[in-house]
């Protein structure tokens, strides 16, 4: 915050006078007494160090700060060492500090050097390292529990402060594809409860990228309507995606989700084979096919087999033969459904058909389990416990996923 780090160190002597009545010698009682002492010591200590550094700075020819109005960094006069008070939240508690006002001899501008010395943003009451910690806790558990936990360890903060910290922390987090990781990923959506909208009214969409060392990282996050544009999910990544010869995207959506990226990047679509039998159960239900009836079993068992891909088959001829056989069987299933009048199932399978075998055809790693599915469980554990505003749900999820998958920490 404009303070020169070359500033000389100072030594301060700190003594304090404090009297407190303690009724017994149990650790609990001693700690309660200490918790009364803490705010006083903390405030006095910070104040003393601040004045010490303030004086040391004012004693230098070139000050470690400058006037915001005229840029002068040499000539200033002290107004007082005990200026207007200001509140700042530390990891222990709120402290009330007397600010240090100085006046610029160049232009007469008066300002406080308190936050410049503390290296926290002007006007801000909660420093970044503090709101990021609260933001992380608030994203990992409910606001009520977050408050309970931080209070247990001596922080006196309310739920609103934790909520605000989540919003602020989330604003600093952005996701995009990493050019150093694999050109492969998954996209999926999950329904979330939004205030004023019926259950499953909105969909939270996640785009994950595979990491070369195994596992996934988050490359995109968005909340929108069902079947609405997925463009926003890839928005930040367009430039990086252009750098890949091709990017294999596994998803249970159809290729329309990539409408917005057409012509810009080379993305190969692979239907998530893991999702297909799940989705099939839903469309069969829509078609009125009785669960576990012989018709139901016929379709499901065939789809299970078609969607089961053996990894590590590396003979091109075998792969071609396998795909040919799977396609034939899929056509049979579609024909069967057509005859039975299962219109939803037919529509679904016809729509999925073109993108079902892209990955094995191109001899890219075949896979049978969804990695994004795990990510979705991480999302749901936090968002399913409440009704949200769109921004509220997005922000909490951002921090949570950044922490679990992208190395964010506070």
d(CA 252, CA 262): 18
Q: What character string, x for contact with Zn ion (CB under 5 A) and - otherwise, covers 22-61?
A: ----------------------------------------
* Among residues 1, 31, 32, 70, the one that binds Zn ion under rule CB under 5 A: 70
Site residue total, Zn ion (CB under 5 A): 8
Residue 5 CB, shortest distance to Zn ion, in Å, is 23
Interface region with Zn ion, contact rule CB under 5 A, candidates 106-114, 321-329, 366-374, 383-391? 106-114
Residue 84 CB, shortest distance to Zn ion, in Å, is 20
d(CA 183, CA 244): 7
Interface region with Zn ion, contact rule CB under 5 A, candidates 71-79, 89-97, 160-168, 402-410? 71-79
* Among residues 56, 60, 72, 103, the one that binds Zn ion under rule CB under 5 A: 72
Handedness of CA 285, 287, 288, 292 (dihedral sign): negative
* Among residues 30, 31, 107, 381, the one that binds Zn ion under rule CB under 5 A: 107
Q: Quote the strand ranges of 193-327, DSSP E.
A: 202-210, 216-224, 247-251, 267-271
Q: What is the largest CA-CA distance in the chain?
A: 92
**Contact in structure between 169 and 181 (CB atoms under 8 Å):** no
**Contact in structure between 272 and 303 (CB atoms under 8 Å):** no
* Among residues 89, 97, 104, 248, the one that binds Zn ion under rule CB under 5 A: 104
170 binds Zn ion (CB under 5 A): no
- 245 to each of 35, 179, 242, 287, how far by Cα in Å? 60, 11, 8, 41
* Among residues 67, 126, 258, 267, the one that binds Zn ion under rule CB under 5 A: 67
Q: Where are the alpha helices (DSSP H) in 207-315?
A: 231-235, 238-242, 275-286, 294-307
Residue 107 CB, shortest distance to Zn ion, in Å, is 3
Interface region with Zn ion, contact rule CB under 5 A, candidates 89-97, 98-106, 219-227, 336-344? 98-106
- Residues of this chain that interact with Zn ion (CB under 5 A) are 67, 69-70, 72, 104, 106-107, 109
């Amino acid at each position: 915050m404009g303070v020169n780090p070359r500033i000389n160190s100072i030594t301060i002597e700190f003594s304090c006078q404090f009297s407190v009545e303690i009724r017994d010698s149990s650790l609990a009682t001693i700690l309660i007494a200490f918790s009364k002492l803490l705010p006083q010591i903390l405030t006095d200590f910070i104040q003393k160090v601040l004045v010490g550094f303030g004086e040391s700075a004012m004693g230098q020819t070139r000050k470690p700060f400058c006037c915001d109005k005229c840029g002068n960094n040499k000539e200033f006069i002290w107004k007082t060492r005990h200026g207007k008070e200001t509140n700042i939240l530390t990891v222990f508690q709120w402290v009330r500090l007397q600010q240090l006002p100085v006046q610029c001899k160049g232009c007469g501008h008066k300002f406080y050097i308190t936050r410049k010395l503390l290296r926290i943003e002007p006007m801000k009451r909660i420093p970044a390292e503090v709101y990021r910690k609260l933001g992380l806790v608030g994203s990992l558990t409910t606001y009520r529990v977050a408050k309970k936990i931080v209070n247990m360890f001596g922080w006196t903060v309310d739920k609103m402060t934790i909520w605000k910290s989540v919003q602020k922390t989330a604003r600093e987090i952005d996701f995009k594809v990493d050019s150093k990781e694999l050109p492969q990923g998954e996209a999926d959506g999950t329904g979330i409860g939004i205030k004023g909208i019926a259950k499953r009214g909105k969909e939270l969409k996640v785009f994950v990228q595979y990491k070369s060392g195994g596992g996934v990282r988050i490359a995109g996050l968005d909340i929108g309507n069902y079947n609405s544009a997925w463009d926003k999910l890839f928005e930040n990544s367009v430039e990086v995606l252009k750098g890949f010869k091709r990017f294999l995207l596994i998803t249970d959506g159809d290729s329309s989700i990539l409408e917005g990226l057409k012509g810009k990047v080379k993305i190969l679509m692979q239907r998530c084979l893991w999702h297909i039998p799940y989705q099939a159960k839903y469309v069969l239900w829509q078609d009125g096919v009785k669960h576990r009836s012989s018709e139901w079993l016929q379709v499901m068992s065939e789809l299970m087999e078609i969607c089961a891909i053996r990894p590590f088959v590396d003979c091109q001829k075998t792969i071609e033969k396998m795909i040919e056989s799977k396609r034939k069987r899929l056509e049979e299933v579609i024909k069967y459904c057509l005859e039975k009048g299962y219109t939803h199932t037919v529509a679904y399978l016809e729509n999925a058909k073109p993108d079902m075998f892209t990955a094995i055809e191109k001899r890219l790693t075949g896979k049978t389990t969804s990695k994004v599915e795990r990510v979705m469980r991480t999302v749901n554990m936090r968002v399913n416990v409440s009704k949200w505003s769109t921004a509220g749900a997005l922000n909490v999820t951002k921090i949570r996923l950044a922490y679990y998958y992208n190395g964010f920490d506070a």
